[in-house]
């Protein structure tokens, strides 16, 4: 599942104008992108804090606080994008961060 083009569809508030998408070359890069969104939000909210720390529950709260979040992952065998929901994204971010922590 590593090198599968992934599109993240996101709506940050009930306002439809906040709908956006981000595309990545892999699921891993997409999970990095979601973590990066949260980290930028934390820096925006805490501009004077140099080292911002968070745990998986904080990240999950951020993800759950978005009006909508889903992923489209390219499946080479079907030559189509398969949809995944926010719970799948939460599981993937957890596994991704766990892998990074083991390095």
List the CATH number of the domain containing 24. 3.30.2260.10
- Dump pLDDT digits (tens) for 1-54: 568 999 999 999 999 999 999 999 999 999 999 999 999 999 999 999 888 889
In a domain, 12, yes or no: yes
pTM of the model: 0.89
Residue 1, pLDDT score = 54
Residue 88 lies in a domain: yes
User: How high is the pLDDT of residue 103?
Assistant: 81
Q: What is the pLDDT of residues 81-103, one digit of tens each?
A: 999 999 999 999 999 999 988 88
Question: How many domains are contained in the chain?
Answer: 1
Q: Which two tokens stand for residue 37?
A: 């969104």
**Sign of CA pseudo-dihedral 88, 21, 52, 3:** positive
Domain that holds residue 31: 6-102
Q: Is residue 87 part of a domain?
A: yes
Residue 52 included in any domain: yes
Looking at residue 52, what is its pLDDT? 87
pLDDT digit string, tens, across residues 59-80: 999 999 999 999 999 999 999 9
> Per the domain annotation, does 19 fall within a domain?
yes
1 is a domain residue: no
Residues 6+ positions from 47 with CB-CB distance below 8 Å: none
Whole-Å CA distances, 1 to 27, 29, 45, 48: 7, 12, 34, 39
15, part of any domain:
yes
């Amino acid at each position: 599942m590593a090198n599968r083009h992934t599109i993240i569809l996101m709506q940050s508030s009930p306002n439809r104008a906040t709908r956006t998408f981000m595309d990545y070359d892999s699921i891993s890069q997409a999970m990095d992108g979601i973590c990066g969104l949260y980290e930028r939000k934390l820096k925006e909210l805490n501009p004077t804090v140099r080292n911002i720390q968070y745990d998986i529950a904080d990240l999950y709260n951020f993800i759950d606080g978005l009006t909508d979040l889903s992923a489209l992952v390219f499946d080479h065998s079907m030559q189509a994008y398969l949809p995944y929901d926010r719970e799948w994204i939460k599981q993937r971010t957890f596994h991704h961060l766990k892998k990074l922590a083991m390095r």
